[in-house]
Amino acid sequence: MTALSELNDDIVRSMTVASVFSDFGGQINSLDFHRKEDLLITASEDDSIRLFDIANGKLLKTAYHKKHGADRICFTHHPHSVICSSIHNLDLHGESLRYLSMYDNRCLRYFKGHKERVVSLCMSPVNDSFMSGSLDHSVRIWDLRVNACQGILRLRGRPAVAYDQQGLVFAVAMEGGAVKLFDSRSYDKGPFDTFLVGGDTAEVCDIKFSNDGKSMLLTTTSNSIYVLDAYGGEKRCGFNLDPSPTAMEATFTPDGQYVVSGSGDGNLHAWNINTLNKVSSWDSHIGVPSCLKWAPRRVMFVAASSVLTFWIPNHGAGDAAGAQTEQVTLQ
């Protein structure tokens, strides 16, 4: 068992492909890990939603959603329930978001309101609230228990949204490199702080908080990654990537000490954000990855294009493809 405190440059450098799933019928649009269970959910261009057991590297279930498609996806607190955004028939039905049961493949609730595609989606870590950001230049706050939208934020450009790990604060990034922080209990009073990513006015396509809440990770449409201090907004570090035809995703390790990202050259890169050193670069083996996330409780990350790959440490013994993923002990 590898403790979180033991994650170091050598372990990160040793990451290698353990499992490959190549039967998707198109690009994987998004993916998410459950916070407490060893589960991964994916949403793909082939209209499929797939549930995986990450401890054993197994596909558990596939469901197709031909009417609405499958674009952004995230787990709710229940391990077999997800929120998924639609990509088909938005003008016809207006059913931009669905609350789905993977257990019996039912739609539990529709959420109507967005007029354009949802590009950012996240679930509160502490209650039934969730947020969606859309190309209609709005962020909507919802509650799983009711159909009606609970709140709307109007803004400029493409939004990206994220809750901190305590669910007390959420961040909204928008055009011009602006990041606004809101109290999740009184967001109607407006942001309590605004950061500017100096010198980069590109749209932010993804934003994440580190588990300790001290840092924020921003990925922009100009192929740059920034790590900001979550309290003061100062830029801790930044990394430039090779140009990519699609938006890319970067991820923190669970301890918040490393950042892993894809790149337009088809490689994956890892940096230590304390020393600012590049720890490793790997051939992704899948081209330019559209999705990349580190598992919340394991020494494991996944990268996806039209192929899904599980990465774990290679300790130099045996076949990595047959190894079990390492459990992280959260401090």
Residue 325 placed within a domain: no
Residue 329 placed within a domain: no
Residue 326 placed within a domain: no
The encoded tokens of residue 78 equal 């229940």
pLDDT, average across residues 118-127: 96
Report in angstroms the alpha-carbon separations of 114 from 42, 83, 210.
22, 15, 28
Looking at the predicted structure, is the pLDDT value of residue 181 above 90?
Answer: yes
Looking at the predicted structure, is the pLDDT value of residue 330 above 60?
Answer: no
Gyration radius (Cα) of the chain, Å: 19
CA-nearest of 27, 20, 70, 78 to 48 is: 70
CATH number of domain containing 287? 2.130.10.10
Residue 214 placed within a domain: yes
d(CA 52, CA 56): 9
Residue whose pair of structure tokens reads 């309590």 in the numeric block: 192
Residue 2 placed within a domain: no
Residue 227 placed within a domain: yes
SS3 state of residue 93: helix
SS3 state of residue 321: helix
State which H helix or E strand residue 52 sits in.
strand 48-53
Residue 96 placed within a domain: yes
Q: What is the dihedral of CA 284, 286, 74, 294, to 10 degrees?
A: -10
Residue 154 placed within a domain: yes
Geometric angle at alpha carbon 76, from 4 and 85, rounded to 5°: 115
CA-nearest of 81, 104, 105, 84 to 96 is: 84
Q: Which domain holds residue 250?
A: 9-313
Looking at the predicted structure, is the pLDDT value of residue 105 above 60?
Answer: yes
d(CA 98, CA 144): 10
d(CA 116, CA 174): 16
Kindly report the number of other CB atoms within 10 A of residue 63's CB atom.
18
Residue 202 pLDDT: 76
Q: Which of 83-97, 153-167, 238-252 has the lowest mean pLDDT?
A: 83-97
Residue 220 pLDDT: 87
Within its chain, how far is the Cα of 173 from the centroid? 15
Residue 198 pLDDT level (bands cut at 50, 70, 90): low
Residue whose pair of structure tokens reads 């995703």 in the numeric block: 249
**How many structural domains is the chain composed of?**
1
Kindly report the number of other CB atoms within 10 A of residue 148's CB atom.
9
Residue 40 pLDDT: 98
Residue whose pair of structure tokens reads 């789905």 in the numeric block: 100
Report in angstroms the alpha-carbon separations of 239 from 212, 219, 276.
21, 10, 9
What is residue 31's DSSP assignment? E
Residue-wise pLDDT for 221-237, tens only, equals 888 899 999 988 899 99
